[in-house]
A = this chain, B = another copy of it.
Amino acid sequence: MKIIDGKIDAPKGFFATGLHAGLKHTKKDLGIVLSEVPAQAAGVFTTNQVKAAPIYVTKEALSDGILQAIIVNSGFANACTGAIGLEDAKTTQQYLAEKLGIAADKIAVASTGVIGKVLPMKKIKAGIDVFNLNQSEPQAFHEAILTTDKATKEVAVTDVINGVEVTMAGVAKGSGMIHPNMATMLSFITTDAFISNDLVQEILSEKTEVTYNQITVDGDTSTNDMVLVLANGLAENPEIEKGTEAYQKFAAMLDYVSAELAKKIAKDGEGATKLIEVEVTGASDSLAARLIAKKVVGSSLVKTAMFGEDPNWGRIICAVGYAETLIDPNKIDMWIGQQQLLKQSQPQEFDQTIMKEILANETIKILIDLNVGTESGKAWGCDLTYKYVEINALYHT
């Protein structure tokens, strides 16, 4: 696998653009991704019972496993907007279908922004009307999907599968409300690989568990989250079949792209100054390891300690203890960076100067060995800062 400097249109046959339609004050707020041909598609969606209108509309569009385009707006979540919201999401789909000359049910719709306000459909129609389809401008799409994000988040890779070069690219937005089951997180992945939607769905569902669902910013799960993968087959590789080396390679690409996007989302959590990675090893099963890792990285006390650059292992072991999975409280080893803090749950002497340097970094790795089994898991989050409080307290509906 090779990491390349590509955007969402890097795989063959993909086009993307974005513009300012007037949903936000001045920034880009409407974007599309389009494949030359209908693509095999897969998706995962928020588990929140209060779902935004585009979630319903996109799930329906995805029901036959084929998508050709995605339209995304930021500024308005189109959530808690009732029948009007559903109608608006369908109308958006219809407008874009007419603009692109493709079937409306091949178009996914995604929204992110304020809950409970009805979409300004005139602006959306006007925006769709003026999309320039002659020139792909992927950076404009990457920007159009952002809300409080400080930076665009993208990653692209290539690999040779069955003798043919296959490309995969992903873009995501995140920031606030990022938690377990994909909170106001949007992630779009394109690839020119030839693979069935069943297989893509299988791999996506599996990788979502260990990537997107293992990040947390503040524990809230949004109404609007979705991850979509479009595989248009234009690389013309022999079809990727289950149980083959090709399958493994494709799965590795999707794993890498998803993990990188997830980490970028965690690092750009609202107000964050640090990415925190927690790895739990020696667990009896991998689910338990992931659960504990996420409890630690989600603890407000651990998050503030990391902001304060304090090696507060007491808060860490406390979070390990209240994760709802069985541990042996007397067998825990713990490290921050290379410095061991706990051995068999007892405090160890460590080098304060080196620890200070470790905690001053932008990425902090916490390793917890439960010493009860052989399984492991990871989770990613960020520190809890004054800025987080400022962003979320000053924001007014």
Contact = CB atoms under 8 A, between A and B. Distances in A.
Interface residues of A, number: 61
A135 interface: no
A176 B310 CA distance: 17
A392 to B, nearest CB: 3
B115 A322 contact: no
Nearest to A301: B220
Contacts of A397: 310-314
Contacts of A313: 115-116, 397
Interface string A205-246: 000000000000011111100000000000000000000000
A251 interface: no
A115 B48 contact: no
A388 B300 CA distance: 10
B317 A115 contact: yes
Interface in A290-343: 298-301, 304-305, 307-308, 310-315, 317-322, 326-327, 329-330, 342
Contacts of A222: 318
A301 to B, nearest CB: 5
A48 to B, nearest CB: 4
A346 to B, nearest CB: 6
Given A50-B329, A307-B389, A218 B312 contact: no
Interface string A369-397: 00000000000000011101110111111
A13 B200 CA distance: 72
Contact of A181 (B322, B329, B345): B322
Q: How many of these chains are in the complex?
A: 2
Interface in A26-72: 47-51
B345 A82 contact: yes
A392 B301 contact: yes
Interface string A174-185: 001100010000
A126 B386 CA distance: 42
User: Which of A314, A342, A347, A384: most chain B CB closer than 10 A?
Assistant: A314
Given A49-B329, A310-B395, A392-B308, A346 B80 contact: yes
23 contacts: A48-B318, A49-B326, A49-B327, A79-B318, A80-B314, A80-B317, A80-B346, A114-B314, A115-B318, A177-B318, A219-B219, A221-B318, A223-B318, A223-B321, A300-B300, A300-B388, A305-B392, A305-B395, A308-B394, A313-B397, A314-B397, A384-B392, A386-B390
Given A50-B321, A310-B397, 14 more contacts: A47-B322, A49-B320, A77-B314, A115-B315, A176-B301, A177-B301, A221-B321, A221-B322, A300-B392, A304-B393, A312-B395, A314-B397, A386-B389, A389-B389
